[in-house]
Amino acid sequence: MKKSSFSRYRFPAVAAVITGKVSGRTIKKAVSEGAGLLELRVDTFGQRGIRPLVESIKGIRKIKGARAVPLIITVRKMEEGGGAWISDKERAAIFKALMPYAGLIDVELSSARALKEIIRLAKKDKKAVIISHHDFRKTPAEAGVRRIIKRALSAGADIVKVAALAKSAEDIKTLARVALDYKNLIVIAMGETGVLSRVFFPALGSLITYGSATGSTAPGQLKLKKLKKELGFYGII
């Protein structure tokens, strides 16, 4: 990966997940609580017009302190936890319109073929591409997780994100082994059993951990302030 893609960012990092109606108060709160990244879950914004979305992003960039915080643009498909059903064509148009404001984009592995032009455009514009996989039912066998990573890299990922529901200590161990074996990976064990992964997996090499600035978007996701406190207590970030 070219140096300009994401080596300018400091990892591990905490991303504040921004959902629903974007307000200056929410963004200021996320920045003041130490968010290193802002993940804009555009699928939850409730506004689908390109112009209002662009104006919303421009508004974020005018908020004191927020200009220096890189944005992850995410338009999550409903099948992987998205907030609304949006066609691939419409998602592509949203990604393209918001690309100039993004530091990173997040595209699901299951959408990589449909959004391959967006991945190509992001690379051309030197934006880091996160290709993600979410399993809300289980943690796949370790061999399966490794196949997911291989497929995501083949699809053009700069960073691969694997988030899977953990039901046991063995699931945590599976994901921890994977986190130790790869570079440029985000690994999250979702659910109550996996809460500790959001604090300790960054110590194993996972690049980003996510905290909610508004409502939780995944099982076991911690509030941003609490997550930062825990990470600081253990000297991880």
Residues with catalytic function = 134, 161
Q: How would you label 199-232 residue by residue, b for 16+ Cβ within 10 Å and e otherwise?
A: bbbbebbbbbbbbbbbeebbbbbbebbebbebbe
Whole-Å CA distances, 108 to 12, 100, 199: 21, 20, 23
How far apart are alpha carbons 101 and 10 in whole angstroms?
A: 18
DSSP 47: -
Secondary structure class of 41 (helix, strand, coil): strand
Secondary structure of 185-213 as H, E, C letters: EEEEEECHHHHHHHHHHHHHCCCEEEEEC
Instruction: Give Rg (Cα) of the chain.
Output: 16
**Pairing state between β 37-41 and 159-165:** unpaired
User: And the tokens for 17?
Assistant: 């997940």
